[in-house]
Structure 1
Amino acid sequence: MTDLIACTRAEFARLRRWPAFWIILGTWIVLNLVFAYLFNYLAYATGSSMRMSNGQPRAILLQQMLPAAVPEVFTQGMAMFGGALMLVLGALVTGSGYGWGTWKTVFTQGPSRARVAGGTVLALAVVVVALVLTAFVVDTGVAAIIGTVQHQSLALPGAGRSLLGILTGAVILGMWTLAGAVIGVLARGPALAVGLGLVWVLVVENLLRGVASIFAPIRAITDHLPGTAAGSLAGAMRTISGEPTPGVLDILSRPASFVVLAVYIVVFAVAMMWLLHRRDMA
Protein backbone atom coordinates (compact mmCIF):
# COMPACT_ATOMS: atom_id res chain seq x y z
CA MET A 1 0.00 0.00 0.00
CA THR A 2 2.88 2.34 0.78
CA ASP A 3 4.39 1.73 -2.66
CA LEU A 4 1.01 2.29 -4.32
CA ILE A 5 0.58 5.64 -2.57
CA ALA A 6 4.14 6.62 -3.48
CA CYS A 7 3.52 5.72 -7.13
CA THR A 8 0.31 7.77 -7.16
CA ARG A 9 2.12 10.77 -5.68
CA ALA A 10 4.91 10.38 -8.23
CA GLU A 11 2.36 10.33 -11.06
CA PHE A 12 0.78 13.51 -9.70
CA ALA A 13 4.22 15.14 -9.54
CA ARG A 14 4.76 14.29 -13.21
CA LEU A 15 1.33 15.47 -14.33
CA ARG A 16 1.29 18.82 -12.56
CA ARG A 17 4.61 19.79 -14.17
CA TRP A 18 3.42 18.80 -17.64
CA PRO A 19 2.03 21.69 -19.76
CA ALA A 20 -0.01 19.37 -21.99
CA PHE A 21 -1.92 18.14 -18.93
CA TRP A 22 -3.10 21.63 -17.99
CA ILE A 23 -3.78 22.57 -21.60
CA ILE A 24 -6.15 19.62 -22.06
CA LEU A 25 -8.01 20.24 -18.80
CA GLY A 26 -8.22 23.98 -19.46
CA THR A 27 -9.44 23.38 -23.00
CA TRP A 28 -12.31 21.26 -21.75
CA ILE A 29 -13.39 23.89 -19.20
CA VAL A 30 -13.31 26.60 -21.88
CA LEU A 31 -15.16 24.53 -24.49
CA ASN A 32 -17.74 23.58 -21.88
CA LEU A 33 -18.43 27.25 -21.14
CA VAL A 34 -18.41 28.28 -24.80
CA PHE A 35 -20.86 25.65 -26.04
CA ALA A 36 -23.08 25.51 -22.95
CA TYR A 37 -23.31 29.22 -22.16
CA LEU A 38 -21.57 31.67 -24.51
CA PHE A 39 -23.27 30.70 -27.77
CA ASN A 40 -26.63 30.20 -26.09
CA TYR A 41 -26.39 33.55 -24.31
CA LEU A 42 -25.49 35.36 -27.52
CA ALA A 43 -28.45 33.74 -29.27
CA TYR A 44 -30.75 34.64 -26.37
CA ALA A 45 -29.52 38.22 -25.98
CA THR A 46 -29.66 39.05 -29.68
CA GLY A 47 -32.88 37.16 -30.34
CA SER A 48 -31.29 35.49 -33.34
CA SER A 49 -31.47 31.81 -34.18
CA MET A 50 -27.80 30.89 -34.29
CA ARG A 51 -26.66 27.58 -35.70
CA MET A 52 -24.74 26.82 -32.51
CA SER A 53 -27.95 27.11 -30.49
CA ASN A 54 -29.81 24.81 -32.91
CA GLY A 55 -32.50 27.44 -33.38
CA GLN A 56 -34.06 26.73 -29.99
CA PRO A 57 -36.68 29.13 -28.55
CA ARG A 58 -35.38 31.88 -26.28
CA ALA A 59 -37.30 30.49 -23.31
CA ILE A 60 -35.55 27.13 -23.65
CA LEU A 61 -32.16 28.80 -24.03
CA LEU A 62 -32.68 30.82 -20.86
CA GLN A 63 -33.88 27.79 -18.92
CA GLN A 64 -30.73 25.89 -19.89
CA MET A 65 -28.50 28.69 -18.62
CA LEU A 66 -29.90 28.91 -15.09
CA PRO A 67 -28.28 27.27 -12.03
CA ALA A 68 -31.03 24.65 -11.67
CA ALA A 69 -30.09 23.21 -15.07
CA VAL A 70 -26.35 22.81 -14.38
CA PRO A 71 -26.39 19.03 -13.66
CA GLU A 72 -28.04 18.48 -17.03
CA VAL A 73 -26.15 21.03 -19.09
CA PHE A 74 -22.59 20.35 -17.96
CA THR A 75 -22.85 16.63 -18.76
CA GLN A 76 -24.12 17.07 -22.33
CA GLY A 77 -20.73 17.77 -23.87
CA MET A 78 -18.96 14.94 -22.07
CA ALA A 79 -20.25 12.12 -24.22
CA MET A 80 -18.28 13.16 -27.31
CA PHE A 81 -16.14 16.30 -27.06
CA GLY A 82 -15.19 16.02 -23.41
CA GLY A 83 -14.69 12.29 -23.80
CA ALA A 84 -12.41 12.83 -26.80
CA LEU A 85 -10.21 15.26 -24.84
CA MET A 86 -9.96 12.92 -21.85
CA LEU A 87 -9.15 10.01 -24.15
CA VAL A 88 -6.28 12.13 -25.51
CA LEU A 89 -5.13 12.79 -21.95
CA GLY A 90 -5.17 9.09 -21.06
CA ALA A 91 -3.30 8.19 -24.24
CA LEU A 92 -0.67 10.85 -23.58
CA VAL A 93 -0.17 9.81 -19.96
CA THR A 94 0.60 6.17 -20.76
CA GLY A 95 1.96 6.57 -24.28
CA SER A 96 4.51 9.18 -23.22
CA GLY A 97 5.91 6.66 -20.75
CA TYR A 98 7.17 4.70 -23.72
CA GLY A 99 8.17 7.68 -25.84
CA TRP A 100 10.23 9.26 -23.05
CA GLY A 101 11.59 5.97 -21.72
CA THR A 102 10.21 6.64 -18.23
CA TRP A 103 8.40 3.30 -17.99
CA LYS A 104 11.63 1.43 -18.62
CA THR A 105 13.51 3.43 -16.01
CA VAL A 106 10.81 3.08 -13.37
CA PHE A 107 10.26 -0.63 -13.95
CA THR A 108 13.96 -1.45 -13.70
CA GLN A 109 14.74 0.70 -10.66
CA GLY A 110 11.49 1.30 -8.82
CA PRO A 111 8.56 -0.69 -7.36
CA SER A 112 6.70 -3.47 -9.11
CA ARG A 113 4.90 -2.83 -12.39
CA ALA A 114 1.53 -3.58 -10.80
CA ARG A 115 1.99 -0.82 -8.24
CA VAL A 116 3.18 1.67 -10.84
CA ALA A 117 0.20 0.89 -13.08
CA GLY A 118 -2.16 1.06 -10.12
CA GLY A 119 -0.73 4.45 -9.15
CA THR A 120 -1.36 5.73 -12.68
CA VAL A 121 -4.98 4.53 -12.59
CA LEU A 122 -5.59 6.12 -9.19
CA ALA A 123 -4.01 9.40 -10.31
CA LEU A 124 -6.19 9.52 -13.43
CA ALA A 125 -9.28 8.75 -11.33
CA VAL A 126 -8.55 11.67 -9.00
CA VAL A 127 -7.93 13.96 -11.97
CA VAL A 128 -11.27 13.02 -13.52
CA VAL A 129 -13.23 13.61 -10.30
CA ALA A 130 -11.45 16.94 -9.71
CA LEU A 131 -12.17 18.06 -13.27
CA VAL A 132 -15.86 17.18 -12.99
CA LEU A 133 -16.19 19.01 -9.67
CA THR A 134 -14.38 22.04 -11.07
CA ALA A 135 -16.61 22.13 -14.14
CA PHE A 136 -19.70 21.86 -11.94
CA VAL A 137 -18.61 24.76 -9.72
CA VAL A 138 -17.57 26.95 -12.65
CA ASP A 139 -20.81 26.27 -14.53
CA THR A 140 -22.86 27.03 -11.43
CA GLY A 141 -21.06 30.35 -10.99
CA VAL A 142 -21.58 31.34 -14.64
CA ALA A 143 -25.23 30.28 -14.50
CA ALA A 144 -25.71 32.36 -11.34
CA ILE A 145 -24.25 35.40 -13.09
CA ILE A 146 -26.57 34.93 -16.08
CA GLY A 147 -29.56 34.43 -13.78
CA THR A 148 -28.72 37.64 -11.91
CA VAL A 149 -28.28 39.66 -15.09
CA GLN A 150 -31.56 38.36 -16.52
CA HIS A 151 -33.43 38.69 -13.19
CA GLN A 152 -34.25 34.99 -13.06
CA SER A 153 -34.39 32.45 -10.27
CA LEU A 154 -31.04 31.55 -8.71
CA ALA A 155 -32.37 28.36 -7.14
CA LEU A 156 -29.70 25.68 -7.08
CA PRO A 157 -30.37 22.12 -8.20
CA GLY A 158 -31.27 19.62 -5.50
CA ALA A 159 -28.49 17.73 -3.75
CA GLY A 160 -29.58 14.43 -5.27
CA ARG A 161 -29.71 15.90 -8.76
CA SER A 162 -26.30 17.51 -8.31
CA LEU A 163 -24.71 14.28 -7.07
CA LEU A 164 -26.26 12.37 -9.96
CA GLY A 165 -24.84 14.86 -12.45
CA ILE A 166 -21.37 14.71 -10.87
CA LEU A 167 -21.45 10.90 -10.81
CA THR A 168 -22.61 10.83 -14.43
CA GLY A 169 -19.79 13.11 -15.51
CA ALA A 170 -17.17 11.17 -13.54
CA VAL A 171 -18.26 7.82 -15.00
CA ILE A 172 -18.33 9.12 -18.59
CA LEU A 173 -14.99 10.92 -18.46
CA GLY A 174 -13.40 8.16 -16.39
CA MET A 175 -14.31 5.55 -18.98
CA TRP A 176 -12.87 7.61 -21.85
CA THR A 177 -9.70 8.41 -19.89
CA LEU A 178 -9.01 4.74 -19.21
CA ALA A 179 -9.83 3.89 -22.83
CA GLY A 180 -7.12 6.32 -23.89
CA ALA A 181 -4.72 4.85 -21.33
CA VAL A 182 -5.23 1.36 -22.75
CA ILE A 183 -4.68 2.56 -26.32
CA GLY A 184 -1.52 4.35 -25.22
CA VAL A 185 -0.14 1.12 -23.78
CA LEU A 186 -1.17 -0.90 -26.84
CA ALA A 187 0.39 1.59 -29.25
CA ARG A 188 3.47 2.14 -27.04
CA GLY A 189 3.48 5.81 -27.92
CA PRO A 190 1.27 8.90 -27.71
CA ALA A 191 0.92 9.93 -31.36
CA LEU A 192 -0.62 6.74 -32.75
CA ALA A 193 -2.72 6.26 -29.62
CA VAL A 194 -4.24 9.75 -29.87
CA GLY A 195 -5.01 9.28 -33.56
CA LEU A 196 -6.64 5.89 -33.11
CA GLY A 197 -8.66 7.07 -30.15
CA LEU A 198 -10.03 10.15 -31.87
CA VAL A 199 -10.94 8.20 -35.00
CA TRP A 200 -12.90 5.76 -32.85
CA VAL A 201 -14.72 8.40 -30.83
CA LEU A 202 -15.54 10.81 -33.64
CA VAL A 203 -15.92 8.53 -36.65
CA VAL A 204 -16.06 4.76 -36.17
CA GLU A 205 -18.84 4.54 -33.60
CA ASN A 206 -21.06 6.95 -35.53
CA LEU A 207 -20.57 4.90 -38.69
CA LEU A 208 -21.36 1.66 -36.87
CA ARG A 209 -24.56 3.12 -35.42
CA GLY A 210 -25.51 4.27 -38.89
CA VAL A 211 -24.99 0.76 -40.25
CA ALA A 212 -27.02 -0.69 -37.37
CA SER A 213 -29.98 1.46 -38.37
CA ILE A 214 -30.20 -0.44 -41.66
CA PHE A 215 -28.72 -3.79 -40.55
CA ALA A 216 -30.46 -4.82 -37.35
CA PRO A 217 -28.34 -7.92 -36.47
CA ILE A 218 -25.41 -5.78 -35.30
CA ARG A 219 -27.57 -3.46 -33.22
CA ALA A 220 -26.98 -5.52 -30.08
CA ILE A 221 -23.29 -4.72 -30.43
CA THR A 222 -23.56 -1.05 -31.38
CA ASP A 223 -26.06 -0.41 -28.57
CA HIS A 224 -23.38 -1.36 -26.05
CA LEU A 225 -20.35 0.41 -27.49
CA PRO A 226 -18.52 2.84 -25.17
CA GLY A 227 -19.78 5.94 -26.98
CA THR A 228 -23.35 4.67 -27.06
CA ALA A 229 -23.34 3.98 -23.33
CA ALA A 230 -21.74 7.36 -22.55
CA GLY A 231 -24.19 9.19 -24.81
CA SER A 232 -27.15 7.37 -23.30
CA LEU A 233 -26.05 8.19 -19.76
CA ALA A 234 -25.69 11.87 -20.68
CA GLY A 235 -29.06 11.71 -22.43
CA ALA A 236 -30.68 10.32 -19.29
CA MET A 237 -29.86 13.62 -17.55
CA ARG A 238 -31.94 15.66 -20.01
CA THR A 239 -35.16 17.15 -18.64
CA ILE A 240 -35.39 20.30 -20.78
CA SER A 241 -36.82 19.93 -24.26
CA GLY A 242 -34.78 21.05 -27.23
CA GLU A 243 -32.20 19.80 -29.69
CA PRO A 244 -29.72 17.35 -28.09
CA THR A 245 -25.97 17.92 -28.15
CA PRO A 246 -24.04 15.77 -30.66
CA GLY A 247 -23.21 12.43 -29.08
CA VAL A 248 -26.11 12.56 -26.61
CA LEU A 249 -28.39 9.54 -27.15
CA ASP A 250 -31.41 7.80 -25.65
CA ILE A 251 -30.63 4.21 -26.65
CA LEU A 252 -29.94 2.72 -23.21
CA SER A 253 -31.65 3.42 -19.90
CA ARG A 254 -29.71 5.07 -17.08
CA PRO A 255 -29.19 1.82 -15.10
CA ALA A 256 -28.09 -0.05 -18.23
CA SER A 257 -25.71 2.78 -19.17
CA PHE A 258 -24.15 2.79 -15.71
CA VAL A 259 -23.64 -0.97 -15.82
CA VAL A 260 -22.10 -0.94 -19.30
CA LEU A 261 -19.77 1.94 -18.46
CA ALA A 262 -18.77 0.31 -15.17
CA VAL A 263 -17.84 -2.85 -17.06
CA TYR A 264 -15.77 -0.84 -19.52
CA ILE A 265 -14.01 0.99 -16.69
CA VAL A 266 -13.04 -2.28 -15.00
CA VAL A 267 -12.00 -3.92 -18.27
CA PHE A 268 -9.90 -0.94 -19.39
CA ALA A 269 -8.20 -0.59 -15.99
CA VAL A 270 -7.40 -4.29 -15.74
CA ALA A 271 -6.24 -4.45 -19.38
CA MET A 272 -3.91 -1.49 -18.93
CA MET A 273 -2.34 -2.92 -15.77
CA TRP A 274 -2.06 -6.40 -17.27
CA LEU A 275 -0.38 -5.12 -20.43
CA LEU A 276 2.11 -3.03 -18.45
CA HIS A 277 2.84 -6.02 -16.22
CA ARG A 278 3.26 -8.65 -18.94
CA ARG A 279 4.74 -6.91 -21.97
CA ASP A 280 8.41 -6.24 -22.62
CA MET A 281 9.43 -2.58 -22.63
CA ALA A 282 11.62 -2.98 -25.70
Structure 2
Amino acid sequence: MNALTALARSTRAELRRLWRWPATWVLVGVWTVLNLLFAYAFPWIGYSGGGGPDAAAGASPQALLAGLLPANVPSTLVQGMPMFGGAIVMLLGALAIGNGYAWGTWKTVLTQGPGRLAAFGGTLVALAVSVVGIVALTAATDLATAHVVAAVEGGSAAGPAAGDLVQAMAAGLLVLGMWAAGGVLVGALAKGPALAAGLGLVWALVVENLLRGVSGLVDGMATLTDRLPGSAAGSLAGALGAVGQDPRGEGTPGVLTVLDGASAAWLLAAYLVVFAVVALTLVRRRDLG
Protein backbone atom coordinates (compact mmCIF):
# COMPACT_ATOMS: atom_id res chain seq x y z
CA MET A 1 0.00 0.00 0.00
CA ASN A 2 1.55 3.31 -1.05
CA ALA A 3 1.43 6.44 1.09
CA LEU A 4 -1.35 8.19 -0.86
CA THR A 5 -3.59 5.14 -0.78
CA ALA A 6 -3.02 4.77 2.95
CA LEU A 7 -3.80 8.44 3.51
CA ALA A 8 -6.99 8.22 1.43
CA ARG A 9 -8.21 5.16 3.34
CA SER A 10 -7.40 6.76 6.67
CA THR A 11 -9.23 9.94 5.64
CA ARG A 12 -12.35 7.99 4.65
CA ALA A 13 -12.31 6.13 7.95
CA GLU A 14 -11.88 9.34 9.95
CA LEU A 15 -14.63 11.10 8.02
CA ARG A 16 -16.94 8.19 8.73
CA ARG A 17 -16.04 8.36 12.42
CA LEU A 18 -16.51 12.12 12.70
CA TRP A 19 -19.76 12.26 10.75
CA ARG A 20 -21.28 9.38 12.72
CA TRP A 21 -20.11 10.81 16.02
CA PRO A 22 -22.97 12.58 17.88
CA ALA A 23 -20.57 15.09 19.43
CA THR A 24 -19.73 16.45 15.97
CA TRP A 25 -23.34 17.28 15.20
CA VAL A 26 -23.93 18.68 18.66
CA LEU A 27 -21.01 21.09 18.23
CA VAL A 28 -22.12 22.05 14.70
CA GLY A 29 -25.63 22.61 16.01
CA VAL A 30 -24.43 24.76 18.89
CA TRP A 31 -22.38 26.95 16.54
CA THR A 32 -25.29 27.32 14.11
CA VAL A 33 -27.65 28.38 16.90
CA LEU A 34 -25.13 30.83 18.38
CA ASN A 35 -24.46 32.34 14.96
CA LEU A 36 -28.17 32.82 14.27
CA LEU A 37 -28.88 34.27 17.70
CA PHE A 38 -26.06 36.80 17.91
CA ALA A 39 -25.74 37.68 14.22
CA TYR A 40 -29.44 37.91 13.38
CA ALA A 41 -32.02 37.21 16.10
CA PHE A 42 -30.88 39.70 18.75
CA PRO A 43 -30.10 42.55 16.31
CA TRP A 44 -33.44 41.92 14.59
CA ILE A 45 -35.24 42.16 17.93
CA GLY A 46 -33.38 45.40 18.61
CA TYR A 47 -34.35 46.78 15.22
CA SER A 48 -38.01 45.87 15.63
CA GLY A 49 -38.16 47.57 19.03
CA GLY A 50 -38.87 44.39 20.93
CA GLY A 51 -35.75 44.44 23.08
CA GLY A 52 -36.53 47.20 25.55
CA PRO A 53 -35.67 50.91 25.55
CA ASP A 54 -31.90 50.37 25.31
CA ALA A 55 -31.93 47.57 22.75
CA ALA A 56 -30.54 49.69 19.91
CA ALA A 57 -28.29 51.95 21.99
CA GLY A 58 -25.30 53.09 19.94
CA ALA A 59 -26.71 51.98 16.58
CA SER A 60 -29.46 53.52 14.48
CA PRO A 61 -32.33 51.31 13.30
CA GLN A 62 -31.09 51.80 9.72
CA ALA A 63 -27.63 50.53 10.68
CA LEU A 64 -29.09 47.52 12.46
CA LEU A 65 -31.22 46.63 9.44
CA ALA A 66 -28.32 47.11 7.03
CA GLY A 67 -26.27 44.60 9.02
CA LEU A 68 -29.02 42.01 8.63
CA LEU A 69 -29.43 42.21 4.85
CA PRO A 70 -27.88 39.86 2.26
CA ALA A 71 -25.31 42.43 1.10
CA ASN A 72 -23.71 42.35 4.57
CA VAL A 73 -23.37 38.55 4.75
CA PRO A 74 -19.57 38.52 4.12
CA SER A 75 -18.82 40.53 7.28
CA THR A 76 -21.55 38.77 9.27
CA LEU A 77 -20.17 35.38 8.24
CA VAL A 78 -16.82 35.89 9.97
CA GLN A 79 -17.76 38.04 12.95
CA GLY A 80 -18.48 35.17 15.34
CA MET A 81 -15.67 32.87 14.21
CA PRO A 82 -12.65 34.36 16.04
CA MET A 83 -14.09 33.58 19.47
CA PHE A 84 -17.22 31.41 19.58
CA GLY A 85 -16.81 29.50 16.33
CA GLY A 86 -13.11 29.08 17.00
CA ALA A 87 -13.71 27.70 20.49
CA ILE A 88 -16.22 25.16 19.17
CA VAL A 89 -13.97 23.98 16.33
CA MET A 90 -10.99 23.85 18.69
CA LEU A 91 -13.10 21.61 20.92
CA LEU A 92 -13.86 19.37 17.94
CA GLY A 93 -10.17 19.03 17.10
CA ALA A 94 -9.23 18.33 20.71
CA LEU A 95 -11.91 15.66 21.08
CA ALA A 96 -11.05 14.04 17.75
CA ILE A 97 -7.46 13.46 18.89
CA GLY A 98 -7.98 13.09 22.63
CA ASN A 99 -10.67 10.43 22.34
CA GLY A 100 -8.31 8.29 20.30
CA TYR A 101 -6.09 8.02 23.36
CA ALA A 102 -8.95 7.59 25.83
CA TRP A 103 -10.65 4.83 23.82
CA GLY A 104 -7.37 3.13 22.94
CA THR A 105 -8.07 3.35 19.22
CA TRP A 106 -4.78 5.13 18.51
CA LYS A 107 -2.91 2.08 19.80
CA THR A 108 -4.65 -0.15 17.29
CA VAL A 109 -4.54 2.24 14.35
CA LEU A 110 -0.97 3.38 14.81
CA THR A 111 0.50 -0.06 15.46
CA GLN A 112 -1.56 -2.27 13.13
CA GLY A 113 -2.91 0.24 10.61
CA PRO A 114 -1.32 2.27 7.84
CA GLY A 115 1.34 3.89 10.01
CA ARG A 116 1.43 6.98 12.14
CA LEU A 117 1.90 9.51 9.36
CA ALA A 118 -0.99 8.24 7.25
CA ALA A 119 -3.29 7.68 10.23
CA PHE A 120 -2.71 11.10 11.75
CA GLY A 121 -2.74 12.75 8.33
CA GLY A 122 -6.13 11.19 7.67
CA THR A 123 -7.47 12.78 10.85
CA LEU A 124 -6.13 16.18 9.83
CA VAL A 125 -7.66 15.91 6.35
CA ALA A 126 -10.99 14.77 7.81
CA LEU A 127 -11.02 17.74 10.17
CA ALA A 128 -10.16 20.06 7.27
CA VAL A 129 -13.12 18.68 5.28
CA SER A 130 -15.33 19.19 8.34
CA VAL A 131 -14.20 22.81 8.64
CA VAL A 132 -15.03 23.38 4.97
CA GLY A 133 -18.48 21.95 5.62
CA ILE A 134 -19.01 24.17 8.67
CA VAL A 135 -18.05 27.32 6.77
CA ALA A 136 -20.28 26.37 3.82
CA LEU A 137 -23.19 25.63 6.18
CA THR A 138 -22.69 28.95 7.96
CA ALA A 139 -22.64 30.87 4.68
CA ALA A 140 -25.79 29.14 3.43
CA THR A 141 -27.58 29.74 6.74
CA ASP A 142 -26.58 33.41 6.82
CA LEU A 143 -27.69 33.99 3.24
CA ALA A 144 -31.05 32.30 3.81
CA THR A 145 -31.67 34.20 7.05
CA ALA A 146 -30.65 37.52 5.53
CA HIS A 147 -33.11 37.03 2.66
CA VAL A 148 -35.87 36.25 5.15
CA VAL A 149 -35.11 39.49 7.00
CA ALA A 150 -35.11 41.44 3.72
CA ALA A 151 -38.47 39.96 2.73
CA VAL A 152 -40.10 40.64 6.10
CA GLU A 153 -38.69 44.13 6.65
CA GLY A 154 -38.83 45.30 3.04
CA GLY A 155 -35.06 45.73 2.76
CA SER A 156 -32.88 45.21 -0.27
CA ALA A 157 -32.56 41.58 -1.31
CA ALA A 158 -29.44 42.29 -3.38
CA GLY A 159 -26.81 39.72 -2.54
CA PRO A 160 -23.16 40.39 -1.76
CA ALA A 161 -20.52 40.60 -4.46
CA ALA A 162 -19.26 37.12 -5.30
CA GLY A 163 -15.66 38.16 -4.65
CA ASP A 164 -16.52 39.50 -1.19
CA LEU A 165 -18.35 36.31 -0.27
CA VAL A 166 -15.50 34.09 -1.48
CA GLN A 167 -13.00 36.22 0.44
CA ALA A 168 -15.06 35.96 3.60
CA MET A 169 -15.39 32.19 3.24
CA ALA A 170 -11.64 31.87 2.69
CA ALA A 171 -11.04 33.93 5.83
CA GLY A 172 -13.47 31.73 7.72
CA LEU A 173 -11.61 28.62 6.57
CA LEU A 174 -8.33 30.12 7.75
CA VAL A 175 -9.70 31.17 11.13
CA LEU A 176 -11.51 27.93 11.90
CA GLY A 177 -8.71 25.85 10.39
CA MET A 178 -6.20 27.48 12.72
CA TRP A 179 -8.38 26.82 15.77
CA ALA A 180 -9.00 23.22 14.68
CA ALA A 181 -5.23 22.69 14.38
CA GLY A 182 -4.83 24.24 17.82
CA GLY A 183 -7.34 21.74 19.16
CA VAL A 184 -5.42 18.89 17.55
CA LEU A 185 -2.25 20.07 19.28
CA VAL A 186 -3.96 20.33 22.66
CA GLY A 187 -5.44 16.86 22.20
CA ALA A 188 -2.01 15.42 21.38
CA LEU A 189 -0.45 17.17 24.38
CA ALA A 190 -3.14 16.13 26.87
CA LYS A 191 -3.59 12.59 25.45
CA GLY A 192 -7.21 12.62 26.60
CA PRO A 193 -10.50 14.37 25.75
CA ALA A 194 -11.51 15.98 29.03
CA LEU A 195 -8.28 17.85 29.77
CA ALA A 196 -7.81 18.74 26.11
CA ALA A 197 -11.32 20.20 25.84
CA GLY A 198 -10.91 22.16 29.06
CA LEU A 199 -7.54 23.59 28.11
CA GLY A 200 -8.75 24.54 24.64
CA LEU A 201 -11.82 26.38 25.92
CA VAL A 202 -9.92 28.17 28.67
CA TRP A 203 -7.32 29.42 26.21
CA ALA A 204 -9.76 30.49 23.51
CA LEU A 205 -12.33 32.14 25.77
CA VAL A 206 -10.39 33.30 28.83
CA VAL A 207 -6.59 33.41 28.70
CA GLU A 208 -6.14 35.55 25.60
CA ASN A 209 -8.75 38.06 26.76
CA LEU A 210 -7.07 38.35 30.15
CA LEU A 211 -3.66 38.84 28.55
CA ARG A 212 -5.00 41.56 26.27
CA GLY A 213 -6.64 43.19 29.26
CA VAL A 214 -3.37 43.53 31.17
CA SER A 215 -1.11 44.16 28.17
CA GLY A 216 -1.00 47.88 28.92
CA LEU A 217 0.54 47.25 32.34
CA VAL A 218 3.76 45.70 31.02
CA ASP A 219 6.03 47.38 28.49
CA GLY A 220 6.18 45.48 25.24
CA MET A 221 3.47 42.99 26.20
CA ALA A 222 1.04 44.43 23.68
CA THR A 223 3.44 43.40 20.90
CA LEU A 224 3.04 39.79 22.06
CA THR A 225 -0.70 39.84 22.71
CA ASP A 226 -1.40 41.47 19.35
CA ARG A 227 0.09 38.40 17.69
CA LEU A 228 -1.64 35.68 19.67
CA PRO A 229 -3.84 33.26 17.69
CA GLY A 230 -7.07 34.89 18.81
CA SER A 231 -5.77 38.37 18.06
CA ALA A 232 -4.80 37.34 14.54
CA ALA A 233 -8.19 35.70 13.98
CA GLY A 234 -10.04 38.74 15.32
CA SER A 235 -7.95 41.11 13.23
CA LEU A 236 -8.69 39.20 10.03
CA ALA A 237 -12.40 39.36 10.81
CA GLY A 238 -12.10 43.06 11.59
CA ALA A 239 -10.28 43.70 8.33
CA LEU A 240 -13.27 42.23 6.48
CA GLY A 241 -15.68 44.63 8.20
CA ALA A 242 -16.84 42.39 11.04
CA VAL A 243 -17.32 45.24 13.49
CA GLY A 244 -21.04 44.71 13.88
CA GLN A 245 -23.04 45.93 16.82
CA ASP A 246 -25.15 43.83 19.12
CA PRO A 247 -28.49 45.25 20.32
CA ARG A 248 -26.73 47.24 23.03
CA GLY A 249 -24.32 48.82 20.60
CA GLU A 250 -21.30 46.93 21.87
CA GLY A 251 -18.62 45.54 19.59
CA THR A 252 -18.66 41.92 18.55
CA PRO A 253 -16.60 39.82 21.02
CA GLY A 254 -13.31 38.65 19.56
CA VAL A 255 -13.24 41.09 16.63
CA LEU A 256 -10.12 43.30 16.69
CA THR A 257 -8.22 45.70 14.47
CA VAL A 258 -4.71 45.42 15.91
CA LEU A 259 -3.28 43.87 12.70
CA ASP A 260 -3.99 44.55 9.05
CA GLY A 261 -5.70 41.83 7.04
CA ALA A 262 -2.63 40.56 5.21
CA SER A 263 -0.51 40.30 8.38
CA ALA A 264 -3.32 38.54 10.21
CA ALA A 265 -3.81 36.04 7.37
CA TRP A 266 -0.12 35.15 7.17
CA LEU A 267 0.08 34.80 10.95
CA LEU A 268 -2.94 32.52 11.01
CA ALA A 269 -1.44 30.36 8.26
CA ALA A 270 1.81 30.13 10.22
CA TYR A 271 -0.02 29.12 13.41
CA LEU A 272 -2.00 26.48 11.51
CA VAL A 273 1.15 24.90 10.07
CA VAL A 274 3.08 25.06 13.35
CA PHE A 275 0.21 23.54 15.37
CA ALA A 276 -0.22 20.69 12.87
CA VAL A 277 3.52 19.95 12.59
CA VAL A 278 4.11 19.97 16.35
CA ALA A 279 1.09 17.71 16.91
CA LEU A 280 2.33 15.30 14.23
CA THR A 281 5.79 15.25 15.80
CA LEU A 282 4.30 14.42 19.20
CA VAL A 283 2.20 11.58 17.80
CA ARG A 284 5.10 10.11 15.85
CA ARG A 285 7.73 10.26 18.60
CA ARG A 286 5.86 9.60 21.82
CA ASP A 287 4.64 6.29 23.18
CA LEU A 288 0.93 5.55 23.03
CA GLY A 289 0.34 4.99 26.73
- Give the TM bin, normalised by the shorter chain: over 0.9
- The answer for the alignment partner of 1:265 in structure 2 is 272
8 Å CA contact 2:243, 2:252 repeated in 1: no
The counterpart of 1:89, out of the listed 62, 87, 92, is 92
Displacement after TM superposition at 1:241 (Å) = 6.6
- The answer for the alignment partner of 1:145 in structure 2 is 148
Aligned partners of 2:175 and 2:59: how far apart in 1?
26
Per-residue CA deviation, residues 54-104 of structure 1 (Å, 9 max, x unaligned), is 652211110010000011012111110111111111110000000000100
- The answer for the alignment partner of 2:160 in structure 1 is 157
CA gap of 1:177–1:237, structure 2 versus 1, over 3 A, is: same
Displacement after TM superposition at 1:216 (Å) = 2.7
Aligned partners of 2:221 and 2:101: how far apart in 1?
36
The counterpart of 1:225, out of the listed 207, 215, 228, is 228
Scaled by the length of structure 2, the TM-score of the pair is 0.94
8 Å CA contact 1:90, 1:178 repeated in 2: yes
Report the AA paired with residue 279 of structure 2: M
Report the AA paired with residue 8 of structure 1: T
CA gap of 1:50–1:78, structure 2 versus 1, over 3 A, is: farther
Report the AA paired with residue 168 of structure 1: A
Aligned partners of 1:258 and 1:7: how far apart in 2?
30
- The answer for the alignment partner of 1:8 in structure 2 is 11
Per-residue CA deviation, residues 97-126 of structure 1 (Å, 9 max, x unaligned), is 000001001112101100111111111111
What is the total number of aligned residue pairs between the two structures? 282
8 Å CA contact 2:236, 2:265 repeated in 1: yes
5 Å-filtered alignment, 1:99-114, equals 99-114=102-117
Displacement after TM superposition at 1:50 (Å) = 7.2
SS of equivalent residue, structure 1 residue 216: coil
The counterpart of 2:180, out of the listed 163, 166, 177, is 177
- The answer for the alignment partner of 1:115 in structure 2 is 118
The more displaced of 230-239 and 220-229 is 230-239
The more displaced of 234-243 and 102-111 is 234-243
Find out whether 1:166 has 2:173 as its counterpart.
no
Q: Which runs of 5+ in 2 are unaligned?
A: none
The counterpart of 2:42, out of the listed 39, 42, 63, is 39
RMSD: 1.6
Aligned partners of 1:239 and 1:24: how far apart in 2?
23
Aligned partners of 1:158 and 1:49: how far apart in 2?
35
The more displaced of 125-134 and 52-61 is 52-61
Q: Which runs of 5+ in 1 are unaligned?
A: none
Scaled by the length of structure 1, the TM-score of the pair is 0.96
Aligned partners of 1:147 and 1:81: how far apart in 2?
26
CA gap of 1:235–1:54, structure 2 versus 1, over 3 A, is: farther
8 Å CA contact 2:35, 2:80 repeated in 1: yes
CA gap of 1:279–1:54, structure 2 versus 1, over 3 A, is: farther
The counterpart of 1:211, out of the listed 195, 209, 214, is 214
Aligned partners of 1:159 and 1:64: how far apart in 2?
18
CA gap of 1:86–1:241, structure 2 versus 1, over 3 A, is: closer
CA gap of 1:51–1:135, structure 2 versus 1, over 3 A, is: farther
Aligned partners of 2:255 and 2:188: how far apart in 1?
29
CA gap of 1:240–1:153, structure 2 versus 1, over 3 A, is: farther
8 Å CA contact 2:67, 2:244 repeated in 1: no
- The answer for the alignment partner of 1:63 in structure 2 is 66
- The answer for the alignment partner of 2:259 in structure 1 is 252
Find out whether 1:281 has 2:288 as its counterpart.
yes
Displacement after TM superposition at 1:47 (Å) = 5.6
